[in-house]
């Protein structure tokens, strides 16, 4: 796959003037545990719990979907593609349309250290922007992806895999600016699938309006988010697509199907 197939993605290097770069480190995501927890939510799904999760999903769901669509450009997991303008008429990167390619820089090897480490290369993806339609011009901040598997070849061939760190600061999305670091895992043999333990703060100016701290899994076009119930009684899983027209809420005792095509989502227990 040519680099031109990756608009709004930059491939960068951790370089310095004679100095060794400091490896980026993070606590890895337990991918197997996340998949098991997704498969077996522990909370009871009832009207009260469904109402709680609907309210929380109304706030965080669109941002999670847009974030998954943005990451899809580097980590394909079947999420609906972005509706983008023709690059010939509206370049997605600053400058001329040829700037849509990835741009490697000089690479300086990083030092080995205990635990997971960043590599000499990381990828940046343009943030969505403040409007409902994406504007991937790198004028609204960027999402950085580190991972031991990142090389120029793996990025250009969409062959990234394994443990990752997704980080952002002042990354503009429609609901506000996103900031935070989230460990992730990309499994090329399972779907493929992208999992993440999100730790993202949403700010409008200096005010924090939301904290998205759900674990999520994207696979075969379906997004799943695991919500911890406020009363501490367990978890409920929400399954949805990027269209957000319908979603399900699943607990240990059953599933609610919710229609999201009205001002107030309507949910009913699936027989």
Phi, then psi, of 68 in degrees rounded to 5 = -65, -40
pLDDT score of 189: 86
Q: What gap in Å lies between CA 242 and CA 83, rounded to an integer?
A: 12
Contact 227, 45 (CB under 8 A): no
- The pTM score is 0.82
Mean pLDDT in the chain? 80
Of 22-31, 62-71, 189-198, 207-216, the least confident: 22-31
Within a 10 A sphere around the Cβ of 59, how many other Cβ atoms? 13
CA atoms within 13 A on the CB side of 78: 18
pLDDT score of 139: 87
SS3 annotation, 79-113: CCCCCCCCCCCCCCCCCCHHHHCCCCCCCCCCCCC
Of 255, 224, 251, which is closest to residue 238 (Cα–Cα)? 224
* Cα angle, residue 202 at apex, residues 213 and 221 outer, rounded to 5°: 60
pLDDT score of 117: 46
* Cα angle, residue 100 at apex, residues 94 and 104 outer, rounded to 5°: 100
**Upstream peptide bond of 192 is cis (omega within 30 degrees of 0):** yes
What's the first-to-final CA gap in the chain, in angstroms? 46
Q: Computed from CA positions of residues 28, 81, 132, 87, in that sequence, does the dihedral angle turn out positive or negative?
A: positive
How sure is the predictor about 24, in pLDDT bands with cuts at 50, 70 and 90? confident
CA atoms within 13 A on the CB side of 159: 10
pLDDT score of 12: 64
């Amino acid at each position: 796959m040519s680099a031109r197939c990756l608009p709004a993605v930059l491939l960068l290097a951790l370089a310095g003037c004679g100095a060794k770069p400091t490896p980026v480190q993070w606590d890895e995501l337990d991918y197997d545990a996340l998949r098991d927890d997704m498969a077996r939510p522990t909370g009871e799904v009832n009207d009260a719990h469904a109402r709680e999760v609907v309210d929380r999903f109304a706030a965080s769901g669109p941002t999670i979907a847009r974030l998954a669509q943005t990451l899809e450009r580097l980590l394909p997991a079947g999420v609906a593609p972005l509706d983008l303008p023709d690059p010939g008429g509206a370049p997605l990167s600053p400058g001329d349309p040829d700037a849509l390619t990835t741009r490697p820089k000089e690479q300086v090897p990083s030092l080995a250290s205990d635990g997971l480490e960043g590599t000499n290369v990381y990828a940046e993806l343009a943030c969505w922007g403040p409007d409902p339609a994406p504007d991937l011009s790198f004028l609204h901040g960027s999402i950085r992806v580190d991972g031991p598997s990142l090389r120029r070849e793996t990025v250009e061939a969409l062959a990234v895999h394994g443990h990752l760190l997704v980080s952002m600061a002042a990354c503009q999305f429609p609901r506000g600016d996103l900031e935070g670091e989230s460990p992730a895992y990309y499994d090329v043999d399972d779907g493929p699938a992208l999992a993440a333990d999100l730790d993202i703060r949403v700010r409008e100016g200096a005010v924090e309006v939301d904290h998205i701290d759900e674990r999520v899994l994207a696979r075969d076009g379906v997004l799943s988010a695991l919500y911890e119930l406020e009363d501490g009684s367990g978890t409920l899983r929400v399954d949805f697509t990027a269209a957000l027209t319908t979603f399900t809420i699943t607990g240990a005792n059953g599933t609610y199907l919710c229609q999201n095509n009205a001002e107030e989502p309507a949910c009913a227990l699936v027989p």
